[in-house]
Amino acid sequence: MIPSKQKQIQLVSRPVGMPKDDDFLYKEIEVPQPSKGEILVKTLYLSVDPYMRGRMSDAKSYVEPFALNEPLAGGVVGEVAQSQSEHFKKGDFIVGMLPWQEYSIASEKEIRSISPDPSLLSAHLSVLGLTGLTAYFGLLDIGQPKEGETVVVSGAAGAVGSIVGQIAKIKGARVVGIAGSEEKVHYLKDTLGFDEAINYKETNDMQAALKEACPNGIDVYFENVGGEIGDAAISLLNKHGRVPVCGAISSYNKTEMDLGPRVQSKLIKTSSLMKGFVVNDYNDRFKEGATQLGQWLSEGKLQYEETITEGIDNVTDAFLGLFEGKNLGKQLVKVAEPTK
């Protein structure tokens, strides 16, 4: 039964610093009706991601800012509730970029079908989705780890970082993770097989801790956090070091200027590279990445964790929790069960 009313989450003011509850509005709206060629999607899982903070500001970036008094949007796994399209039928499972609400209208081009395997539904927003692809292309295309090299990843227990470290292990590198709790450190070493892991919250001197964990220096630093952790890792780059720059979560809610040591001299001394990227840079290679990730997953070479918050009423809490590192692996919100 499709209800007539539903909840939608709007951005109603541009956050300054850490977003506050009243930057968001949970609004009751009508459930829309699909026109010809359209699909009504029932939201099962929503993805909340740190990059969304950037879109809440008005600054120019690689994607348009979210509009005020309009719904927020992101990765969604859903179920086709009604279809006016020949390409989708009721009960199909799909993934797409859709608004934060319980039921959405999608065009055929906005969504694609996924396997109905219930155990993998959410994985299309994590290891098999843009998160896994972000790790795959950032590490392999920019980082290019070689056997025996040292790869350091920050945000290592997060959605992207945990996959980055495991791919680096598959490629034969020595992998050191940086994360924010003892639980995460144990997860990285004991479950994911990282060689070393550092709890930055218990570390006064990150450079010294990294030096100890990386006796041969750092060949690849996969950047998810920026700030002083990034400074320390960059300072230890070896000759021909590579830094895929994926995220800088420590800076996303900063209101003052984000100042640190300039990197030019270090880059010259080591002939090192820093390269920012977003996963859409690799649009035309998504199939390659998804195929490889799926194969590693089926071979048991990749493990993934999901932190699943229940209920659409908790979407913004789940989002804000990202900035406190509350999640292990991918943070998702489960909005509804699949229809039996």
Binding-site ranges for a second copy (CB under 8 A):
54, 60-62, 223, 226-227, 230-231, 239, 245-248, 251, 257-278, 281
Residue 153 CB, nearest approach to a second copy (Å):
14
Q: Which helix (H) or strand (E) holds 175?
A: strand 174-179
Residues 105, 37: Cα–Cα separation, whole Å:
10
Residue 223 CB, nearest approach to a second copy (Å):
6
Indicate the residue among 36 and 262 with the shorter CB distance to a second copy.
Answer: 262
Indicate the residue among 10 and 154 with the shorter CB distance to a second copy.
Answer: 154
**Token pair 């797409």: residue:** 96
Residues 24, 21: Cα–Cα separation, whole Å:
6
Indicate the residue among 15 and 54 with the shorter CB distance to a second copy.
Answer: 54
Indicate the residue among 248 and 315 with the shorter CB distance to a second copy.
Answer: 248
**How many CB atoms are located within 10 Å of the residue 194 CB?**
25
Residues in the chain: 340
Residue 62 CB, nearest approach to a second copy (Å):
5
Indicate the residue among 54 and 338 with the shorter CB distance to a second copy.
Answer: 54
Residue 293 CB, nearest approach to a second copy (Å):
21
Residue 316 CB, nearest approach to a second copy (Å):
23
Query: Partners of 40 in the beta sheet?
Result: 82, 105
Indicate the residue among 1 and 257 with the shorter CB distance to a second copy.
Answer: 257
As to burial, measured by CB atoms within 10 angstroms (0-12 exposed, 13-18 middle, 19+ buried), residue 161 is buried
**How many CB atoms are located within 10 Å of the residue 182 CB?**
12
Residue 266 CB, nearest approach to a second copy (Å):
7
Residues 78, 84: Cα–Cα separation, whole Å:
16
